[in-house]
Every structure is written in structure tokens, then in C-alpha cells.
């Protein structure tokens, strides 16, 4: 028996719609990362992109458990000496909830070229409205 490997052209990509309202951030990000990679499909191959496009709506309604809202911080660095910038998630969730979800999913994807390509298939929106109605995304229950 030979191992089946799908050709790049024969992978069927669907558009999936995930509602983040009231969902815990880490559990949501883990499920979205699985959908992006294609691990839910029988044709999953680790070195290929077999995943689907994922549209996450209502990112502003995502929850953080415990005291993470006050204690957890997003850290970035400008590359210059003294260029470390930290933002608490409490502020970030109010101003840019899309970044909170995107960064959580990014942390669960491979840190390679493939991971960067997978992240481009993730579309995150603050509210319920999104511009992907033409793709007819099918809702996913998490």
C-alpha cells in the first residue's frame, strides 16, 4: 500500500465562518488553527497546505479567563535600543480585538513559511459584518 498524497490542485478549500462571541480565546484559537491547517480533513499532510479559509466574526466578544485581562500583555519591539512596547490585553481588546485573535492563532501555527501562508487565509472582524458573503462561508460550531 502506498501513502496517499493529494496534489496541490485537488485540495478542496471551503470558507468557514466562526462566531467568537462569548468564546474563550485560547480554545477558539486552537480550533481555528486546526481548521487553517486542515487537520480536520482525511487528506491532511503535514508539509502541505490542505486547510480552509476561516472568517472569524465578533472578535470583540472574545473572553479571557482568570486575571489574564489585566495581567497578560502583548509585547513588540521596534528593533531599536529601548524599543520594547507592551500593551495590556484589557486595552488591546477594547481598541484592536482583531489583533488579539490573530496573534493567538499565529502562536498556534508553525513558525515557518507555511505558517505565514496559512495566516493569510484567516480573516478576523470586530463585529458581525464581513465582506466575504460572496464566498458563502458555512458556519462552524465550536
How much is the average pLDDT of 94-104? 97
pTM of the model: 0.93
H-run or E-run covering 86 = strand 84-88
For the chain, domain boundaries: 14-64+96-128
Name the pLDDT band for 94 (thresholds 50, 70, 90).
Answer: very high
In angstroms, rounded to a whole number, what is the distance separating the alpha carbons of residues 83 and 97?
23
Q: pLDDT tens digit string along 44-54?
A: 999 999 999 99
CATH number of 14-64+96-128: 3.90.1180.10
Amino acid at each position: 500500500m502506498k501513502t496517499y498524497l493529494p496534489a496541490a490542485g485537488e485540495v478542496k478549500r471551503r470558507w468557514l465562518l466562526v462566531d467568537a462571541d462569548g468564546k474563550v480565546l485560547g480554545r477558539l484559537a486552537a480550533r481555528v488553527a486546526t481548521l487553517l491547517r486542515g487537520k480536520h480533513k482525511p487528506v491532511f499532510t503535514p508539509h502541505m497546505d490542505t486547510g480552509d479559509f476561516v472568517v472569524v466574526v465578533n472578535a470583540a466578544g472574545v473572553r479571557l479567563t482568570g486575571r489574564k485581562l489585566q495581567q497578560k500583555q502583548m509585547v513588540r519591539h521596534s528593533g531599536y535600543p529601548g524599543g520594547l512596547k507592551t500593551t495590556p490585553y484589557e486595552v488591546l481588546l477594547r481598541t484592536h480585538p482583531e489583533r488579539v485573535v490573530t496573534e493567538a492563532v499565529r502562536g498556534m501555527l508553525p513558525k515557518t513559511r507555511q505558517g505565514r501562508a496559512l495566516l493569510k487565509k484567516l480573516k478576523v472582524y470586530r463585529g458581525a459584518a464581513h465582506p466575504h458573503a460572496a464566498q458563502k462561508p458555512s458556519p462552524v460550531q465550536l
